[in-house]
Amino acid sequence: MRMRMLTRLGVLLMLVLHLVAVQAATNHSSYDASALEASPRVVIILDDLVYRQSDLKALTLPSEITFAILPDTPLGFDIAHMAHQQGRDVMLHMPMQASGGKRMGPLGLTTDMYPAAITHNIRQAMRTVPYAVGVNNHMGSAFTTNADTMLAFMQEVKRQGLFFVDSRTSVASKGQQMANYLGVPNARRQVFLDNDTSEAAMLKQFDMMKRIAKKQGFVVVIGHPYPETVEFLSRHLPELINDGFTLSAVDAALNFPSSNNEQGASAINIAPR
């Protein structure tokens, strides 16, 4: 018990130290409001927080970057609080069954669950990720392709007043279909930034991201809090702004309702079909 308390105190101390550094690092993240409407919007979601101490470095990135936090994790509750204090969108990164049988982690959803069990796991997950305004899927290449289980999932998403971003781990995902059917605000991921964390590979994805944003006015990108990714974004995000793009939180870019969104924008689905 004493060791557990000491570990907890150590984690909290690290979080406080990071918060001090983060305040300075994120203060430069202010953009010309007059240019927001005219410039293509880039939405970046960092998935798979927070098992590693190195994930804390993501807090130094601009607050427009959204954190998708896995439920019931060692650092998740505290980082969700810190992200919210920064004005950062927080999402629940809900574990779902993959086709290859990969381990999902706590509170994962499987295709053999009854609707009541799906509802129970989502509500338990929400308790461990405070301030979540949306949800996206962690893995889920099997779960998201099952219409019945996705319907049960999306019904609870609607009850919770969340938006949904389909990570698109399968091209056969029923996520947007079920979200549209129930009137849940939704979008889908268009670019994975860091499947390969080499500089050359991420630059290629970064360029693709910019092309899509220019073509349709916005783009939804998913990355991870890998040290390589955080360092890459720290170096390349300033040039993105200089090139006339706007880095935007999910709710602001896609007009989703959010506790951090003071504009009260209407909830609409503008995801490409």
On the question of pLDDT at 88 being above 80, the answer is: yes
Q: Give the CATH number for residue 242.
A: 3.20.20.370
Task: Supply φ then ψ for residue 10, to 5 degrees.
Answer: -65, -40
Predicted confidence band of residue 269 (pLDDT cuts 50, 70, 90): very low
Residue 52 located in a structural domain: yes
In a domain, 66, yes or no: yes
Q: Give ∠ CA 101-104-108 in degrees, rounded to 5.
A: 115
Q: How many domains does the chain have?
A: 1
Domain that holds residue 131: 38-254
Q: Is the pLDDT of residue 91 over 60?
A: yes
Is residue 262 situated within a structural domain?
A: no
Closest-CA residue to 230 (of 32, 18, 41, 74): 18
* pLDDT (0 to 100) of residue 14: 52
Mean pLDDT in residue range 6-26:
44
Q: Is residue 26 part of a domain?
A: no
Cα–Cα nearest to 124, from 51, 85, 70: 70
Any domain includes 97 = yes
CB 191 within 8 A of CB 170: no
Evaluate whether residue 119 is within a structural domain.
yes
Predicted confidence (pLDDT) per residue in 164-218, tens digit:
999 999 999 999 999 999 999 999 999 999 999 999 999 999 999 999 999 999 9
Whether 136 maps to a domain, the answer reads yes
Q: Would 31 be classed as within a structural domain?
A: no
Total Cβ atoms within 10 A of residue 102:
13
